[in-house]
Amino acid sequence: MVARQRLYWTTVYKRTWKGSVVTSFVMPLLYVLAMGVLLGGFVKTGANLEGAPTYLAFVAPGLVAAQAMQTATGETTWPVMGSLKWHRTYYAMVATPLAVADVVAAQLVFVMFRLATVTGVFLLVMAPFGVFESVPGTLLAWPVLVLVGLSFSGVFFAYSATIRSESGFAIIYRLLVIPLFLFSGAFFPISNLSAPLEWLARLTPLWHGVDLTRMLVLGDVRPGLALVHLAYLVVLSLVGWWLAVWRLDKRMEV
């Protein structure tokens, strides 16, 4: 039943891809130049960069993981609200043999496609800057980045299916996305934070994604910790999918 929705989501992407060109393809280059090259020039080489040879090599994996989070957020907030409140696409879908679980699964597959394209381009943008220490690790980092975005997608989908007004999205961006972007290890090691904040950062999915991505692209994988990161992201993705199905089903009963 998920495959039967392929034509719908293909049409959606064909009609909307131009609106995401700047954020998906131009912003990665600007991020790398501004944060990695220009700002990185002020960071001393001997600084604590968790094994990264330069600040650019340290920050680039964090930026692409954060981009996965932001892409997932954008794809599971306003589009979900629109399909419920304005053009009511979900109601038309479930009037067919499609179940709510099929609808959610198909949209999350589309989100995975968006994550794969956005993060793939980001990795290609970083390649000429010499930040990759391991080519196999970088190739493995690509599906990991998709998983990072997916770990946010289901939870945010469930939240979007719960709230009644789009003003509730401000909570996601102000209290979750922006703090996670700044304090989950993308720009500096979380060991620089106070002990309580450091442990709080370790509980966030973005830190797990940033640390695992950095391990892979730098070729410095610690198997035990890498498995913990992977398990955390997989479990959160599954829980998020279940929450999304549950909340959308409840919402459409009203």
pLDDT at position 71 is 92
- Residue 221, judged by CB atoms within 10 A of its CB (0-12, 13-18, 19+), counts as middle
b/e per residue, 5-43, with b = 16+ CB within 10 A? beeebeeeeeeeeeebeeebeebbeebbeebbeeebeeb
pLDDT at position 57 is 83
Residues of the chain with pLDDT under 50: none
CA–CA separation, 166 vs 252, rounded Å?
17
Selection from 22, 30, 52 nearest residue 187 by Cα: 52
Instruction: Give yes or no for a contact between 55 and 40, defined as CB atoms under 8 angstroms apart.
Output: yes
pLDDT at position 73 is 94
pLDDT at position 120 is 92
- Tell me if residue 44 falls in helix, strand or coil: coil
Report long-range pairs for 230-238 (Cβ below 8 Å, ≥24 apart).
230/144, 230/147, 232/151, 232/205, 232/208, 233/144, 233/147, 233/148, 233/150, 233/151, 233/205, 233/208, 233/209, 234/147, 236/151, 236/154, 236/155, 236/205, 237/147, 237/150, 237/151, 237/153, 237/154, 238/154
